[in-house]
Amino acid sequence: MSDTTLDIVELLLTAHIYNKYPELDVNDLPKNIRKYYWSREHKTVPKPIKVKVTDIEKLLQISNVSSHTGSLPFVDIDDMGFLMRITALDVGAEWFQKMDESRERISHNPVLAFYYEKKETEGVDYSSAKTKVRPKEVDREWIESFIEEIAKEEGGDDMLKLVEISAPEDIKQTLRDFILTTEQEDEVKKIVKAIQYKDYLKHIGLYDVGKVLMVGPPGTGKTSLAKAMSEHLSIPFVEVRLSMITDQYLGETAKNIDRVFSLAKRVSPCILFIDEFDFVAKTRSSDEHAALKRAVNTLLKAIDGISLTNDGVLLLAATNHPRMLDSAAWRRFDEIMKFPLPEPEMRKKILDIVTKEIKGKFDTEEIASLTHGYSGSDLRMVIREGVLSALVTERMEITQKDLLNAVVSFDERATIKTNEYEPVM
């Protein structure tokens, strides 16, 4: 039996079983089916799923659909050649189960696993199939539904300017691409556990968890780690753009900040990320516009009013200038995650991970020893420079010389940057 036929039958069975059992919900559907039948309006995959021939063509990239299922007695295409369905679930399910690949497919499809487990099929485990499918919150479609809904509300557009929402599946740099310090690793583990056991924490009355301040110089990975956490935890990433506060009509801003936080509670579970948190300090110490100060106070109050245990919102804030923050701002965080400039050993590891797909003969240990004071981001730039200059001479393999030159030009650049306003002699 061809894969194509199996694909079609799997889809038809999945739709049929999903429609039939009220216990099954959108998170039981395999990702491709869930994304395809997603309804923005309903923010779910409404039942019943009706499988059209054109759906099969699009979703499974199959042409000539009826030629693949013509010989199957339990598959029916309506008179118009339009809708496809299973006419006898028992017969279809039995046929499917006999196929070589069925075991593998069922183990990745919670809807099917639910059915076959009910039928007491050996080796089928619904809860294990569930772990293979990530929840709907990772999908772009889920986020887009939210954004659409909010845009329709009064003032929704203004508020959406203050935030940027990303779906976990769109986050490119994952935890696997990161080199963490031992301390950072521990912090990450604690966050993962706090989310996993958030009901327990609530039960024992530990509410002050889930607010983390990330502290360290630019380019040490604060923003990217916050995003990678969202990918890792399969929860959406909501970023507040503090710079927008100053651009907006200030009277509305305080209100919009409140709405951003209530949005985060609606998207929940999610990560709410506030970058450049030191912005808060600037407005508190200087005599800025009164409305701006009001906005910042609203922000601090809003931070107090949100929690991981009650609202499912993990708050991450980042700053390059910890000294600017006063104790009132510090007090709001229960964990501090430090982002130091990397030590030689860590620099080597970062270089190794950045160059893992790059061919050539080079010694990252030497480069690590020459790059004191470089951030992770600087190291990335060195590699990029090395790759590009190799490409100039049509080479897709880099040499140690390429990298050494890149370090020299990076150092030169740093000098230019710091001497920007020195007179030329």
Ligand X SMILES: Nc1ncnc2c1ncn2[C@@H]1O[C@H](COP(=O)(O)OP(=O)(O)O)[C@@H](O)[C@H]1O
Report the partner that residue 102 touches, choosing among ligand X, Mg ion, none (CB closer than 5 to 8 A by kind).
none
Task: Indicate which single residue of 224, 283, 298, 355 sits in contact with ligand X (rule: CB under 6 A).
Answer: 224
CA 100 to chain centre: 35
Burial letters 253-282, b for 16+ CB under 10 A, else e: bbebbbbbbebbbebbbbbbbbbbbbbbbe
Binding of Mg ion by 309 (CB under 5 A): no
Binding of ligand X by 219 (CB under 6 A): yes
Report the partner that residue 376 touches, choosing among ligand X, Mg ion, none (CB closer than 5 to 8 A by kind).
ligand X
Per the CB < 8 A criterion, the answer to whether 362 and 399 are in contact is yes
Binding of Mg ion by 355 (CB under 5 A): no
Question: How far apart are the C-alpha atoms of 162 and 244, rounded to whole Å?
Answer: 6
Per the CB < 8 A criterion, the answer to whether 103 and 5 are in contact is no
CA 397 to chain centre: 32
CB of 32 to ligand X, least distance (A): 29
CB of 300 to ligand X, least distance (A): 22
Task: Indicate which single residue of 93, 179, 260, 299 sits in contact with ligand X (rule: CB under 6 A).
Answer: 179
Report the partner that residue 253 touches, choosing among ligand X, Mg ion, none (CB closer than 5 to 8 A by kind).
none
Structure tokens at 285: 């110490």
Per the CB < 8 A criterion, the answer to whether 108 and 30 are in contact is yes
Binding of ligand X by 364 (CB under 6 A): no
Question: How far apart are the C-alpha atoms of 298 and 314, rounded to whole Å?
Answer: 19
The residue among 223 and 253 lying less far from Mg ion, judged by its C-beta, is 223
Report the partner that residue 221 touches, choosing among ligand X, Mg ion, none (CB closer than 5 to 8 A by kind).
ligand X
Binding of ligand X by 223 (CB under 6 A): yes
Binding of ligand X by 173 (CB under 6 A): yes
The residue among 115 and 178 lying less far from ligand X, judged by its C-beta, is 178
The residue among 106 and 381 lying less far from ligand X, judged by its C-beta, is 381
Closest-by-Cβ residue to ligand X is: 376
The DSSP string of 14-28 is HHHHHHH-TT--GGG
Task: Indicate which single residue of 270, 350, 382, 398 sits in contact with ligand X (rule: CB under 6 A).
Answer: 350
Tell me, what DSSP letter sits at residue 340?
A: P
Closest CA to 53 of 77, 18, 71: 77
**Residues in 289-328 that interact with ligand X by CB under 6 A:** 318
CB of 288 to ligand X, least distance (A): 25
Closest-by-Cβ residue to Mg ion is: 223
Residues 6+ apart with CB under 8 A from 229: 175, 188, 191, 271, 314, 316
Per the CB < 8 A criterion, the answer to whether 311 and 270 are in contact is no
Task: Indicate which single residue of 220, 256, 355, 371 sits in contact with ligand X (rule: CB under 6 A).
Answer: 220
Binding segment toward ligand X, per CB under 6 A, in 16-24, 173-181, 265-273, 400-408: 173-181
The residue among 62 and 368 lying less far from ligand X, judged by its C-beta, is 368
Binding of ligand X by 380 (CB under 6 A): yes
CB of 337 to ligand X, least distance (A): 11
Measured CA angle at 382 (ends 379, 388), to 5 deg: 145
Burial of 19 (0-12, 13-18, 19+ CB in 10 A): middle
Binding segment toward ligand X, per CB under 6 A, in 95-103, 216-224, 296-304, 389-397: 216-224
CA atoms within 13 A on the CB side of 208: 6
Helix (H, G, I), strand (E, B) or coil at 234: coil
Measured CA angle at 257 (ends 171, 292), to 5 deg: 120
Structure tokens at 396: 């897709």
Report the partner that residue 377 touches, choosing among Mg ion, ligand X, none (CB closer than 5 to 8 A by kind).
ligand X
Binding of ligand X by 268 (CB under 6 A): no
Binding of Mg ion by 223 (CB under 5 A): yes
Residues in contact with ligand X by CB under 6 A are 173, 178-179, 218-224, 318, 339, 350, 376-377, 380
Residues in contact with Mg ion by CB under 5 A are 223
